[in-house]
């Protein structure tokens, strides 16, 4: 009997080994590897999800300001994917951001990872390896951008790094399983067992994609509605102008000398006298400029000499644009503009437009070798062309265009002007085509550009504020206000007490409040909110701009905590006037000079209520999408520009706001 039992036992054991050989186990990860992979996927979802949030809200992520790599990621060729025509028409939008694809991919893999419960079938490994392959391509693009001096997106890097970590945990875990090959480490999915995790992953992927598509359609619809409203207003103004031209009404006086030819470019396609005169102020490295240029050329091809088209330069490169405060977005912008002007100098109108087309086709970028090869192909001698391009003769017209665009209050490229009227709303689908077609349908009289006089910045900046949408200010538990509670104009300033322009607008507003009306006073209520340019308390910044921004904000709020609004404003003003040489000793001195106990104020700097007030202001600024300081709202409307040289734009905005409120 004993032998029989032993024999039976051996047979049973043999069957188990035979079954294992017939149905090999799926690798089952050690717990540490599974948890590490799950954490990596959560991190990847968080990083890519942050980019999705940034896309929909337009608010800056911590560490990603307006000139960071995050801000321009979707303009990169690999930052979004074009949808096929039929799909784009059905979806209601033309591009699918790479951040959407990344987020839905990581979310789907995370769902499958959890459902599989430490098992790693071949299908999952293939999916993870494909994702890592895509990350390798993107990391290569990031390295190339950084080597070219461009900023990178840290959230993109974080998502790809998490993807590499996922692969490492998975593969190291599989190797650990292979080394052990213990029966307890073997997991089996069974026949068709992979279907459930695959279905869950697919459901998450397509469900998340559908939700993002719905949100994107809504976002695009809202943007199109705003652009369409601006386009319709431009169309109305153009048609009214045509009616005035028929009535021979005189042109208004201008303070900018556009010259005897009026507002037009040096180089023109089409006749001098045309029914529609389009001037595009743009740069060759601006993607939207290329799109508008293509639309304008298509209209010229369709309507011929009923339309004229000319070009003016506005380059986002500090090498030739003094109005950018040293910022450069388009690294080759100045040389591209000078190349076009050189072609015009050497070969006139035909030469300019030939080079103009070549530059737009290339996105404005070229190396010395590429340019020399193109010059030879176009029939130029590089030894003649290059010296002219490097001379003042090619630079002067570019600088003149930039000055003129600044005088017009340009806020971005392209800036399109039709018959002397700025064409807003060009972002709407087929906006330029529909507006020009509507204008031509009225059969406007053909004219030269001699009487085309665009609105100058003095009027434009007030009009820009007037056209803004009123936005409710977020919660402000500790409100710092000066001026009458019933004043018809409320001015809210987000600023840093170390920042010079914050000090400038602050002094102006306080003066208006303190002066009587007959001496220049204004009926305003002034609210100040902190947005320190210092990462020690404002983690949303890419870097620290003002070393003591947080200290001065805390000092002002601490003074308010100790002595109320009166003490707050005394300390606020003292800090603005003593921005230089700031530090803890200066804060102690300021406390004494405004009548506060210095030791008490220093102790109050770390009071949780002080930090809470500052963080509430920062959160409010983020909710509004503040990207500059000072950021100003007048009666809930954002002020794009409040000061120009010899022009107090803010005063005219406040006067109009007061008149409108009465």
- Secondary structure of 67-93 in HEC code, one letter for each residue: CCCCCCHHHCCCCEEECCHHHHHHHCC
Taking the C-alpha atoms of residue 30 and residue 173, their distance in angstroms, rounded to an integer, is 6
Q: Which of 450, 412, 418, 444 is nearest to 431 (CA)?
A: 418
Strongest mean pLDDT among 63-77, 270-284, 429-443, 635-649: 270-284
The answer to whether the beta carbons of residues 280 and 313 sit under 8 Å apart is no
Predicted confidence at residue 10, as pLDDT, reads: 40
Rounded to whole angstroms, the Cα distance separating 501 from 649 reads 14
- How many other CB atoms sit within 10 Å of the CB of residue 389? 22
β-pairing, 307-313 vs 276-282, is: parallel
Q: Which pLDDT does position 27 carry in this prediction?
A: 86
Q: Are 308 and 269 in contact (CB under 8 A)?
A: yes
Most confident range, picked from 88-92, 133-137, 140-144, 641-645: 133-137
Residue 77 in this model has a pLDDT that exceeds 70: no
Question: Is 26-221 assigned to CATH 1.20.1430?
Answer: no
The secondary element (H helix, E strand) that includes residue 307 is strand 307-313
Confidence of residue 623 (pLDDT cuts 50, 70, 90): confident
Torsion of CA 222, 227, 233, 239, to 10 degrees: -130
Residues of the chain with CATH 3.40.30.10: 261-454, 481-661
Rounded to the nearest 5 degrees, what angle is found at the Cα of 110, between the Cα atoms of 104 and 113?
A: 140
Tokens of residue 460, six digits: 């434009």
Mean pLDDT over residues 461-476, rounded? 88
Q: Which of 48-62, 263-277, 496-510, 525-539 has the lowest mean pLDDT?
A: 48-62
Q: What is the pLDDT of residue 106?
A: 94
Question: Tell me, what's the pLDDT at 20?
Answer: 36
Q: How far is the C-alpha of 192 from the C-alpha of 173, rounded, in Å?
A: 24
The predicted model gives 433-443 an average pLDDT of 90
Question: Mean pLDDT of all residues in the chain?
Answer: 86
Residue 223 pLDDT exceeds 50? yes
Q: How confident is the model at residue 255 (pLDDT cuts 50, 70, 90)?
A: low
Q: What is the mean pLDDT of residues 345-365?
A: 96
pLDDT at 21 over 70: no
- 473 Cβ neighbours under 8 A, 6+ residues apart: 492, 527, 620, 624, 633, 636
Q: How distant, in Å, are the alpha carbons of 150, 214, 332, 548 from that of 153?
A: 10, 26, 22, 27
Tell me the two tokens of residue 593.
């000079």
Q: Which residue has the higher pLDDT, 548 or 63?
A: 548
Q: Is the pLDDT of residue 84 over 80?
A: yes
Cβ-proximal residues to 375 (8 Å cutoff; 6+ apart), any chain: 381, 382, 385
Question: With contact defined as beta carbons under 8 Å apart, do 454 and 420 qualify?
Answer: yes
Residue 152 has pLDDT above 80, yes or no: no
Query: Domain 261-454: what homologous superfamily?
Result: Glutaredoxin (3.40.30.10)
| pLDDT above 80: residue 65 | no
Tell me the Ramachandran region of residue 348: left when phi exceeds 0, alpha when psi lies from -120 to 50, beta otherwise. left
326's tokens: 């040293």
Structure confidence at residue 600 as a pLDDT band (50, 70, 90): very high
Distance CA 76, CA 66 (A): 15
Separation of CA 139 from chain center: 21
Q: Are 576 and 502 in contact (CB under 8 A)?
A: yes
Q: How confident is the model at residue 60 (pLDDT cuts 50, 70, 90)?
A: low
* Confidence check: pLDDT of 9 > 60: no
Check pLDDT > 80 for residue 436.
Answer: yes
pLDDT of residue 339: 98
* Tens-digit pLDDT profile for residues 181-207: 654 444 555 545 567 888 898 999 999
State the fold for domain 481-661.
Glutaredoxin (3.40.30)
* pLDDT band for position 7 (cuts 50, 70, 90): very low
The C-alpha atoms of residue 401 and residue 382 are separated, in whole angstroms, by 26
Q: How confident is the model at residue 598 (pLDDT cuts 50, 70, 90)?
A: very high
Kindly report which listed range (49-53, 150-154, 631-635) carries the lowest average pLDDT score. 150-154
pLDDT in tens, 389-412: 999 999 999 999 999 999 898 988
The H-assigned helical ranges of 411-520 are 431-441, 457-467, 500-514
Residues contacting 183, CB < 8 A, separation 6+: 20
The rounded distance, in Å, linking the Cα atoms of 256 and 414 is: 21
* pLDDT of 1: 38
> What are the CA-CA distances from residue 112 to residues 101, 116, 125 (Å)?
17, 6, 11
Tell me the mean pLDDT in the region 26-31.
88
Give the span between the Cα atoms of 471 and 230, in whole angstroms.
18
Q: Which of 87-101, 243-257, 384-398, 428-442 has the lowest mean pLDDT?
A: 243-257
Q: State which of 95-99, 218-222, 545-549, 624-628 shows the largest mean pLDDT.
A: 545-549
Q: Can you tell me the distance from the alpha carbon of 396 to that of 399, in angstroms, rounded to the nearest whole number?
A: 5
Closest of 53, 57, 55 to residue 624, by C-alpha: 57
Q: What is the mean pLDDT of residues 82-110?
A: 86
Task: Tell whether the model's pLDDT for residue 5 goes beyond 90.
Answer: no
Number of H helices, E strands in the chain: 20, 14
Contact in structure between 165 and 210 (CB atoms under 8 Å): no
DSSP for residue 548: T
């Amino acid at each position: 009997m004993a032998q029989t039992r032993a024999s039976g036992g051996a047979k049973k054991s043999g069957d188990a080994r035979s079954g294992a050989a017939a149905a090999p186990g799926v690798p089952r990860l050690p717990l540490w590897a599974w948890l590490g992979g799950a954490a990596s996927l959560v991190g990847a979802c968080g990083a890519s999800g942050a980019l999705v949030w940034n896309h929909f809200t337009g608010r800056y992520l911590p560490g990603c300001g307006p000139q960071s790599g995050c801000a321009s990621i979707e303009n990169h060729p690999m930052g979004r994917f074009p949808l096929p025509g039929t799909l784009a028409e059905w979806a209601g939008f033309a591009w699918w951001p790479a951040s959407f694809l990344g987020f839905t991919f990581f979310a789907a893999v995370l769902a499958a990872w959890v459902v599989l419960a430490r098992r790693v079938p071949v299908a999952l490994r293939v999916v993870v390896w494909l994702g890592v392959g895509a990350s390798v391509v993107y990391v290569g693009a990031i390295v190339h951008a950084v080597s070219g001096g461009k900023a990178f997106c840290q959230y993109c890097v974080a998502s790809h790094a998490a993807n590499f970590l996922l692969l490492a945990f998975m593969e190291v875990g599989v190797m650990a399983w292979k080394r052990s090959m213990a029966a307890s480490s073997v997991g089996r999915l069974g026949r068709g067992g992979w279907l459930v995790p695959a279905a869950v992953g697919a459901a998450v992927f397509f469900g998340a994609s559908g939700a993002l598509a719905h949100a994107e359609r809504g976002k695009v619809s809202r943007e199109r509605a705003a652009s369409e409203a601006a386009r319709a207003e431009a169309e109305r103004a153009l048609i009214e102008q045509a009616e005035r031209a028929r009535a021979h009404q005189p042109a208004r006086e201008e303070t900018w000398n556009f010259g005897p030819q009026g507002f037009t470019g040096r180089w023109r396609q089409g006749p001098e006298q045309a029914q529609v005169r389009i001037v595009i102020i743009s740069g060759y490295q601006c993607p939207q400029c290329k799109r508008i240029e293509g639309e304008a050329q298509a209209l010229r091809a369709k309507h011929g000499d009923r339309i004229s088209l000319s070009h003016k330069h506005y380059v986002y490169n500090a090498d030739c644009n003094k109005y950018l405060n040293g910022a450069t977005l388009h690294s080759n912008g100045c040389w591209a503009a000078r190349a076009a002007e050189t072609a015009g100098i050497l070969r006139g109108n035909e030469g300019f437009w030939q080079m103009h087309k070549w530059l737009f086709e290339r996105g404005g970028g070229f190396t010395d070798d590429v340019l020399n090869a193109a010059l030879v192909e176009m029939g130029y001698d590089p030894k003649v062309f290059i010296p002219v391009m490097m001379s003042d003769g090619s630079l002067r017209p570019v600088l003149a265009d930039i000055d003129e665009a600044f005088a017009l209050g340009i806020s971005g490229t392209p800036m399109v002007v039709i018959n002397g009227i700025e064409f807003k709303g060009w972002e709407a689908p087929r906006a330029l085509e529909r507006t020009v077609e509507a204008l031509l349908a009225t059969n406007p009289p053909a004219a030269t550009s001699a009487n085309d006089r665009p609105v100058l910045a003095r009027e434009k900046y007030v009009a820009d504020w007037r056209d803004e949408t009123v936005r409710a200010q977020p919660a402000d538990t500790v409100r710092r206000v000066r001026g009458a509670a019933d004043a018809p104009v409320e001015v809210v300033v987000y600023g840093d007490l170390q920042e010079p322009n914050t000090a400038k607008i602050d002094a102006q507003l306080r003066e208006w409040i303190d002066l009587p009306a007959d001496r220049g006073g204004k009926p305003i209520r002034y609210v100040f909110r902190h947005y320190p340019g210092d990462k020690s308390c404002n983690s949303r910044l890419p870097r620290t701009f003002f070393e003591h921004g947080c200290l001065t904000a805390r000092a002002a709020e601490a003074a308010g905590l100790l002595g109320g609004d009166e003490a707050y404003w005394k300390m606020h003003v003292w800090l603005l006037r003593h921005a230089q040489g700031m530090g803890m000793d200066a804060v102690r001195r300021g406390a004494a000079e405004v009548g506060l106990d210095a030791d008490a104020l220093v102790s109050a700097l770390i009071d949780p209520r002080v930090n809470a007030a500052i963080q509430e202001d920062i959160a409010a600024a983020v909710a509004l999408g503040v990207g500059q300081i000072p950021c100003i709202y007048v009666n809930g409307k954002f002020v794009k520009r409040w000061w120009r040289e010899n022009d107090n734009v803010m005063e005219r905005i406040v006067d109009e706001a007061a008149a409108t409120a009465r």
